[in-house]
Amino acid sequence: MTRVEPAGSFVGHLGVPGDKSISHRAVLIGALAGGETHVRGFGRSADTQSTIDAVRALGVQVDDLADDELVVHGVGLRGLQALDEPIDAGNAGTLMRLLTGILAGQEGRFEVTGDESLRTRPMDRIAEPLKRMGARIDTANGLPPVVIQGSATLKGIEYALPVASAQVKSAVLLAALNAKRQTTVVEPMPTRDHTELMLEAAGAQVRRTPGSVSVEPGGSLRLPEVAVPGDFSSAAPFIVAATLLAGSELTLHGVGLNPRRTGLLDVLERMGARISIFNRSKVGGEMIGDIDVRSAELTATDVDPGEVPRLVDELPLFALAAGSARGVSHLTGAEELRLKETDRIETVTNGLRALGVRIQARDDGFEVRGVPTRPVGGRMPSDGDHRIAILAAVAGIVSREGTDVEGADSVAISFPGFFDLLDSVSRR
């Protein structure tokens, strides 16, 4: 149990660790490239360490130059080596899904498994399109472990994603690198496009329209450098806390601002938040910038289905912000939250209700009756879910009495230095 005391305000400057989605991709795509990939700003966490361990097990040399810097010695598009033991993806859904796409086109048999939480998460969503490409993929009734009998003769397909998922899109696009002809993925709504951007940077032939992305097989990839932006999802807890704490003045530096990730900024601005962005630039196709946050009084808003993919991992924090906003807020079209590391509709609503927030679960989201005061606080379980542990800690910071966070060590899945950074900007 970790005790989080309320703060008076958040003041200062900080940088957050490198983006988790982009860090996974840098290691995986670096492994498939020819030559070395030098990754700077790598976001080291339990999840991204699982990715390094997985590619090492597949015969790829990865040199750790520093906590946030590494060199991946790529083995080429078909150079991964089969192994007898299962690959352990730990808690990382992104790793399990993207790696399965990659392994579909490698020679040999591979098994990918994960921890207790990951073994409850749906893998039929990747098995289905990959089988259409001619891969042999077996799951345990749609769940991990995933067994891949790699095939050198994958076909290109046209695939309309049944759910808006960047992980599924990416699994198909990575398999497409080793297919016989072009593959196109059509998205119901735009999801994060880090895979497309990094493949383009690596010289793959990628064609994009507003609703689709196509990858042409063949050739080889070269990805000499990746500069990973700060993780917007790790900046988000600080943005919400600084907004809610009167007198806050917080600046976050070098944060990734890919527009498919920053839906929380739009939602908070609609609620009256005072957020400004400056020093914008682009690295490796990814937007980056500094974010200035001042405290503000919020009013309620609705988050609609079309917006959900742009803030899918920040919806727990939206619930907390809505709890202190004037009026009733709704989230709809977010049934995907039930399939994350925990059922986040349940863990968010039960957890925040225990702290005094008036929130009700719905099948596809929640309803929050906001009161413009601090929540009371109390005890909140994380159920081993890193985003819920972070939510519980931020709730403690903005509460009257603080929180006792059960399972707080799960923050290390995405953000090992979270509590230290929290302390560094908290003013009592």
End-to-end CA distance of the chain: 21
Per CB under 6 A, which region of 40-48, 162-170, 181-189, 281-289 contacts ligand S3P? 162-170
Out of 87, 127, 236, 312, the only residue in the binding site for ligand S3P (CB under 6 A) is 312
The rounded distance, in Å, linking the Cα atoms of 146 and 86 is 9
- Adjacent-strand bridge partners of 72: 37, 62
Q: What angle do CA 308, 310, 316 make, to 5 degrees?
A: 60
Closest approach of ligand S3P to the CB of residue 87, in Å: 18
Q: With binding defined as CB under 6 A, does residue 386 bind ligand S3P? A: no
- Please report the DSSP string for 376-408 in residue order: --EEEE-TT-HHHHHHHHHHHHTSSS-EEEETG
DSSP structure class, residue 87: E
Q: Residue for token digits 């991964």?
A: 80
Q: With binding defined as CB under 6 A, does residue 21 bind ligand S3P? A: yes
Per CB under 6 A, which region of 81-89, 164-172, 182-190, 211-219 contacts ligand S3P? 164-172
Specify whether 364 is catalytic: no
Q: With binding defined as CB under 6 A, does residue 307 bind ligand S3P? A: no
Per CB under 6 A, which region of 165-173, 204-212, 253-261, 319-327 contacts ligand S3P? 165-173
Closest approach of ligand S3P to the CB of residue 424, in Å: 25
Nearer to ligand S3P, 298 or 320 (CB): 320
The residue type of 114 is G
Per CB under 6 A, which region of 112-120, 128-136, 161-169, 359-367 contacts ligand S3P? 161-169
Task: Indicate the residue whose CB is closest to ligand S3P.
Answer: 21
The rounded distance, in Å, linking the Cα atoms of 138 and 55 is 21
Closest approach of ligand S3P to the CB of residue 347, in Å: 14
Instruction: Provide the sign of the torsion angle of the four alpha carbons 284, 285, 290, 293, taken in this order.
Output: negative
Closest approach of ligand S3P to the CB of residue 51, in Å: 11
- Adjacent-strand bridge partners of 361: 366
Please pick, among 19, 290, 313, 385, the residue that the annotation labels catalytic: 313
Closest approach of ligand S3P to the CB of residue 312, in Å: 5
Strand 205-209 and strand 212-216: the pairing is: antiparallel
Site size for ligand S3P (CB under 6 A): 10
Q: With binding defined as CB under 6 A, does residue 94 bind ligand S3P? A: yes
Q: With binding defined as CB under 6 A, does residue 165 bind ligand S3P? A: yes
The rounded distance, in Å, linking the Cα atoms of 338 and 37 is 36
- CA-wise closest residue to 89 among 128, 115, 59: 115
Instruction: Provide the sign of the torsion angle of the four alpha carbons 26, 29, 32, 38, taken in this order.
Output: negative
Q: With binding defined as CB under 6 A, does residue 166 bind ligand S3P? A: yes
Q: With binding defined as CB under 6 A, does residue 167 bind ligand S3P? A: yes
Binding site for ligand S3P (CB under 6 A): 21, 94, 165-167, 170, 192, 312-313, 336
